Amino acid sequence: MPGQEAEDAAVGPVGAAIANLVVRVVSEYTGRGPTRARSHISGNLVCVVLEDTLTKGERSLVRDGLGEQVLDMRKAFQMTMRGELVTGIEEITGRRVIAFMSDNHMDPDIAMEAFILAPDGD
């Protein structure tokens, strides 16, 4: 898709470093990283969209109707990872993170990590 190629080029090495950070941290905490991650940076917003994030056990729980429990567990992981993710984003961007938001969706298996940066010069 031509628009996506331009967007990827605009994000460049900073976006790649951010996506790699998030994949590494998620993998360390959950035992399995997502198979696809893409960073999107616009002004003060840094967003990382992750695909295929669930472990085999979590996918089994979702199939058995326990998706809410999986979401609760993922939310706990996200709050535990918060400090490491925020520190990493601040190091990569050179800017302070003033807000962090995170969520998961079961079907399709997509997650998002969003960081709001302090305005430039703050």
Residue 114 pairs in a beta bridge with 47, 101
- The pLDDT-based confidence of 6 (bands split at 50, 70, 90) is very low
pTM for the predicted model, two decimal places: 0.87
Percent of the chain with pLDDT over 90: 87
- Cβ atoms of 31 and 81 within 8 Å: the answer is no
Dist CA 109 CA 94 (whole Å): 31
Structure tokens at 22: 């998030």
Task: State how far the alpha carbon of 25 is from the alpha carbons of 35, 49, 113, in Å.
Answer: 13, 14, 12
- Cβ atoms of 68 and 79 within 8 Å: the answer is no
CATH architecture of the domain with range 2-117: 2-Layer Sandwich (3.30)
Query: In the predicted model, what is the mean pLDDT of residues 16-39?
Result: 95
